[in-house]
Amino acid sequence: MKFQYIDTHAHVNFPEFDEDREVVLRNALDEGVFVVNVGTNLESSRRAISIAEQYNEGVYAIVGIHPHEVMELEKNGLIDSTLAELKELAKHGKVIGIGECGLDFFKIEEYNKGVTVEDVKKVQEKVFRGQIDISLALDKPLMLHCRDSYSETLEILYNYSRVPSVKLRGNAHFFAGSLEQAKAFISCGFTISFTGVITFAKNYELLIKEIPLDKILSETDCPYVAPVPFRGKRAEPLHVKLVVQKIAEIKGISTEEAREQIEKNVKQMFFDSV
């Protein structure tokens, strides 16, 4: 497998790309940019797989249930059946990981009227643990989504990772925590990925300088957070080059050096078992 760059967390499976999905993916592949489309529920996970099936190489899927989706499932009594179906989807050869999954406590009260915060947290944790179990059972890494929940997420991961027989691994996507938290994720078997946000937000410099290059991955989270000079527009996988360029700039190394190491990191994390 040969690629120049890889967008490890894209959503070309989302409706924002319905009009020109093939063109967007072709533009990326022509430039040596591989794409991993990430699901947030069963439907977008299935779509990520069917898109990946259309390409011999270069387009992959990660399947999972985003924490924002879990209360709707709970309300309809669908959590266990959804996790069971997710596990079946995850066995597909184009699926290289489980997620995006995790805990998201951002504006939790506002988003969950009529339910207690404690209940929402409990359901999020249940579905997260269900996906950790799938990751371990199938030996496919996790794609973590955490927002305002770093310490709670780390506590869960730590308790898994300290069991000697457990081979926990994955990537903490859209990282926005502290350096201490980044180091804690790394010690639990995780890499850390950054989006186009690092091209315009200044508070990432110390973090990127201090996190070892062999623990960093690149992503766009497209269609969201386009990098400079595309801010406010729809992001796409091709923009991942600008993310790698910025990582190199902050670290004071050549873009090629950063690119090459990230290529190795991604192969090690996501492609050793596929």
Can you give the binding site for Zn ion, defined by CB under 5 A?
100, 145, 221
Taking the complex as a whole, the smallest distance from the CB of residue 274 to Zn ion amounts, in Å, to 21
| Residue in this structure with the two tokens 């070892």, named with its chain if needed | 212
User: How far is residue 28's CA from residue 50's CA, in Å, rounded to a whole number?
Assistant: 18
Q: Which regions of 2-159 does DSSP assign to beta strands (E)?
A: 5-10, 33-38, 59-63, 95-104, 142-147
User: How far is residue 269's CA from residue 267's CA, in Å, rounded to a whole number?
Assistant: 6
Taking the complex as a whole, the smallest distance from the CB of residue 148 to Zn ion amounts, in Å, to 12
Mapped onto helix, strand or coil, the DSSP state of residue 232 is coil
Taking the complex as a whole, the smallest distance from the CB of residue 40 to Zn ion amounts, in Å, to 7
Taking the complex as a whole, the smallest distance from the CB of residue 66 to Zn ion amounts, in Å, to 7
219 versus 263: smaller Cβ distance to Zn ion = 219
Counting every residue written for the chain, the total comes to 274
224 versus 271: smaller Cβ distance to Zn ion = 224
111 versus 214: smaller Cβ distance to Zn ion = 111
123 versus 222: smaller Cβ distance to Zn ion = 222
Written as one string, the DSSP assignment of 166-177 is ----EEE-S--S
Taking the complex as a whole, the smallest distance from the CB of residue 104 to Zn ion amounts, in Å, to 8
172 versus 242: smaller Cβ distance to Zn ion = 172
Query: Who's near 129: CB < 8 A, 6+ residues apart?
Result: 156
48 versus 238: smaller Cβ distance to Zn ion = 48
Token pair of 254, please?
A: 């050549």
User: How far is residue 266's CA from residue 273's CA, in Å, rounded to a whole number?
Assistant: 12
Minimal CB distance residue for Zn ion: 145
Taking the complex as a whole, the smallest distance from the CB of residue 146 to Zn ion amounts, in Å, to 8
